[in-house]
């Protein structure tokens, strides 16, 4: 992919949006894991824990980029990413199960393990948006680092104030998923017609946003269960 091509910059913009809506949640985990440490150790835990998490994520993303070249896996990855986009719209994420580390090493370990487990959606999305470009993978990781380290509070405030950010992020994920599906080698003949290809991509995005939004509205109208002590 040419550095000066519109496709490169469109893919990079997609990765930035993906990082904003997915890596921001991982930033909360980092903050929670380091919350019990003394102030002077919190910054060290966050920096070194994030560095370890980024190394793990870099290896995982490069592996996934290579893996997606295997016939059939672009389709599987695309379908999985459609589900991730839908879940992003309808689910409220909780972090009550994240334990705070009692020591610097425990906090770093928690950050690396939690990010590896929670970062699977980010890895798949970035790998899909990068279209096999390792430069885009590296740029995506470089962008996600400051988001994870410093952006947690800012991202939360943005999302609380402008919920449309989540919708935009889900749309970008759905679009990335549709591009992975139409890019599957054994399906290319079915999407040779540009009208069918772009029509399918538009249909996937519209379906995810419509179904996800309706599901979220329905859930909001349902009566919430009462607490046990009420």
Summarised one tens digit per residue, pLDDT across range 82-99 is 888 888 788 655 545 445
How far is CA 196 from each of CA 47, 90, 202, rounded to the nearest angstrom? 47, 29, 10
Reported pTM:
0.67
Residues 67 and 73 sit within 8 Å (Cβ to Cβ)? yes
Domain residue ranges of the chain, discontinuous segments joined by +: 6-217
* Stronger pLDDT, 38 or 147, i.e. the higher one: 38
pLDDT at 4 over 70: no
For 103-123, the pLDDT digits (tens) are 777 777 776 776 666 666 777
Q: How many CB atoms lie within 10 A of CB 59?
A: 11
């Amino acid at each position: 992919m040419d550095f000066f091509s519109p496709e490169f910059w469109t893919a990079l913009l997609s990765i930035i949006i993906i990082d904003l809506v997915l890596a921001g949640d991982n930033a909360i985990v980092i903050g929670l894991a380091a919350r019990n440490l003394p102030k002077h150790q919190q910054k060290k835990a966050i920096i070194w824990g994030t560095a370890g998490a980024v190394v793990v994520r870099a290896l995982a993303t490069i592996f996934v980029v290579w893996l997606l070249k295997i016939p059939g896996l672009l389709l599987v990855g695309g379908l999985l990413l459609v589900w991730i986009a839908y879940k992003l719209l309808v689910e409220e994420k909780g972090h009550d199960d994240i334990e705070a580390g009692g020591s610097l090493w425990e906090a770093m370990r928690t950050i690396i393990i939690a990010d590896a487990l929670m970062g699977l959606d980010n890895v798949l999305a970035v790998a899909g948006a990068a279209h096999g470009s390792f430069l885009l993978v590296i740029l995506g990781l470089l962008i996600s680092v400051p988001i994870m380290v410093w952006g947690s509070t800012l991202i939360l405030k943005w999302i609380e104030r402008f919920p449309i950010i989540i919708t935009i992020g889900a749309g970008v994920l759905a679009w990335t998923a549709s591009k992975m599906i139409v890019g599957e080698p054994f399906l290319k003949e079915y999407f040779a017609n540009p009208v069918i290809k772009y029509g399918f991509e538009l249909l996937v995005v519209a379906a995810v946003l419509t179904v996800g939004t309706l599901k979220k509205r329905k859930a909001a109208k349902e009566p919430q269960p009462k607490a046990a002590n009420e």
